[in-house]
Amino acid sequence: MPLTDHIRNKLSQVPHRPGVYLHKDRFGTVIYVGKARELRKRVSQYFHPSRRMGWDLKFNALVEAIHDLDWHVVKSEAEALLLEGKLIKEFRPRFNIDFRDDKRFLLLKVNLNDPIPRFTLTRIRKEDGAVYFGPFAHSGSVRRALTMMRRKFKLRGCRPLTPTESDYRHCLYGNLKNCTAPCIGNVAREQYLEQVRAGIDFLQGCTDEMRQELHAEMKRAAGALEFEKAAQLRDAISDLERATQKTEKFERIPYTLPVAMNPESDLRELARVLGLSGPPQRIEGFDISNISGTFMVASMVSFWHGRPDRSNYRRFRMKTVTAQNDFACMAETIRRRYSRLVREVDSGQTEAVSAAAGEGGDAGDESSELKAPWVPPVPVRPRLPDLILIDGGRGQLNAARAELERLGLGSVPVLGLAKEYEEIHLPDRSEPLRLGLDSGAVKLLQRVRDEAHRFANTYNAQLRIKRISESILDEFPGIGETRKQALLKRFGSVQRLRLATVEELGEIPGFGERLAGELKAFLAARAV
């Protein structure tokens, strides 16, 4: 792509500082997020003609698609790494691979309401009344710093919520004098809380005294020619600085769905390329979202005259697929969607704005739409789409087409859009179409595909958040999956569990009065 005046002007403004850069296409969609120790040097490399000779097809496609760029300056490289991961999870750019899963950076937490508080590592920040530190970009450093802190302030590292004397007999922390053993009354709870608060001050950056001690010990070791010990102390100082380094909290950047500059033109080009009788008025796009076979869901988005019609979005949670199988998930989604739509078309029913029993509309922000020319109003009566778009290649397309054939809808045009090279797969062609990233037809299909992808991931995230709220029970010692499911089946949610009495908890199979009382105290300590 030739270097435009706009890009050249932007490059002249990029600072020589650490930060994160965002590449955007001609619709303003973020297509790549990266980090850099020096922004100007890193971003300029994308537009050096001599460097492009060694790049693969993916990077050449990225550079061809860049029409604008933006950047965010941060204080350090570690902060840039944290912000990069956050923005990739938020925008899910199609040219990024790393950070697109649900794995997050490590956090440290301590709940002062626990009977005997302890510091633990987690990746999820919950509204449970605990104090959180992080996220930390270097997991190894924070793990070693946590061990160092426990030894210095004599803090427990055992798992039980309320350790007992029997637990202490097998406790290495107490036997090695790394813990003051409050579980057997060696120290009062208030005295132990002072040790915990000292640990909190330590994590908040009050580490000058320890840093000076480590520096002095490192110099003594080097003077005594104990270089291995000196190197270990040097690494400990580095871990301490990384774990207690303050990082900025970044506010969420709202998602906006771009609208085409000329949707009518893109629709006409799409009709010409696909050999349709006219521009497709109604396009429905499908995508599957699952993480290692969990929370297998699908989405359907609807575009009317090239623009999102959010009242007709639908979402599906798999009912018949039990193992990770995108083809089977796509087949079930198509079968459920169009068997229902065929019934509605035949009976002349009005399609509801929000579906029931596992399907629903998207309460999206309509303010993200740009002002555009007038388009025909959405028809009230249900109608079959003029084009169906499947996110995926030949396998997903064949699964969808087979279900359409069974429903007698083989005449409805359907295609698959594969992400890697934006290839268009058609049922009657053995080779995919490659129209190029500048094609208006491809841009239109990308908007439908990306919106389906966003909607599917949003639904998946909602289910994960619900699961996270239930996972607080996993932290309660002595409760297995069977007991947890029995609790949730009886009370429905953790919020209702908090309101239950000890007697009601004791009625659950596997619970006695003692365990019910401990669970009640555990939930009270983690009240929102």
Rounded distance, CA 7 to CA 26, Å? 12
Domain range 476-525, its CATH number among 1.20.1260.10, 3.40.640.10, 1.10.10.10, 1.10.150.20? 1.10.150.20
Over 80: is that where the pLDDT of 244 sits? no
Give strand pairing partners of 108. Answer: 121, 133
In the prediction, which pLDDT does 417 show? 93
Give strand pairing partners of 102. Answer: none
Tokens matching residue 433: 């179409």
Per CATH, the number for 5-91 is: 3.40.1440.10
In the prediction, which pLDDT does 248 show? 54
**What is the average per-residue pLDDT within 324-342?**
92
- Confidence category of residue 354, pLDDT binned at 50, 70, 90: very low
In the prediction, which pLDDT does 53 show? 60
- Confidence category of residue 168, pLDDT binned at 50, 70, 90: low
Tokens matching residue 243: 């774990």
Cis status, amide bond into 135, omega within 30 of 0:
yes
**What is the average per-residue pLDDT within 429-438?**
85
Rounded distance, CA 141 to CA 12, Å? 37
List the single range of 307-316, 405-414, 436-445 with lowest mean pLDDT.
Answer: 436-445
**What is the average per-residue pLDDT within 226-255?**
65
List the single range of 131-140, 162-171, 186-195, 355-364 with lowest mean pLDDT.
Answer: 355-364
- Confidence category of residue 351, pLDDT binned at 50, 70, 90: very low
- Confidence category of residue 270, pLDDT binned at 50, 70, 90: very high
The CATH class of 263-467 is alpha beta
In the prediction, which pLDDT does 352 show? 42
- Confidence category of residue 184, pLDDT binned at 50, 70, 90: confident
Pick the residue with more confidence: 402 or 84? 402
C-beta of residue 255 within 8 angstroms of C-beta of residue 461:
no
Over 70: is that where the pLDDT of 460 sits? yes
- Confidence category of residue 339, pLDDT binned at 50, 70, 90: very high
List the single range of 124-133, 236-245, 312-321, 513-522 with lowest mean pLDDT.
Answer: 236-245
Most confidently predicted of 49-58, 278-287, 515-524: 278-287
In the prediction, which pLDDT does 227 show? 81
Pick the residue with more confidence: 35 or 261? 35
Pick the residue with more confidence: 131 or 381? 131
Over 70: is that where the pLDDT of 267 sits? yes
Mean residue pLDDT across the chain:
78
Residue 123 CB partners (closer than 8 Å, separation 6+): 103, 104, 105, 106, 107
In the prediction, which pLDDT does 274 show? 93
Q: pLDDT of 377-433, one tens digit each?
A: 777 677 899 999 999 889 999 999 999 999 999 999 999 998 777 899 999 888 999
Task: Locate the domains of the chain by residue range.
Answer: 5-91, 106-243, 263-467, 476-525
Instruction: Give me the phi and psi of 319, to 5 degrees please.
Output: -110, -30
Q: What is the pTM of this model?
A: 0.49
Q: pLDDT of 51-81, one tens digit each?
A: 666 566 777 788 888 888 888 888 888 788 8
- Confidence category of residue 370, pLDDT binned at 50, 70, 90: very low
What's the DSSP call for residue 433? B
In the prediction, which pLDDT does 262 show? 76
- Confidence category of residue 359, pLDDT binned at 50, 70, 90: very low
H or E element in which residue 70 lies: strand 68-73
Pick the residue with more confidence: 129 or 467? 129
In the prediction, which pLDDT does 316 show? 92
Residue 5 to residues 9, 11, 70, 181, 231: CA-CA distances in angstroms? 6, 10, 15, 68, 51
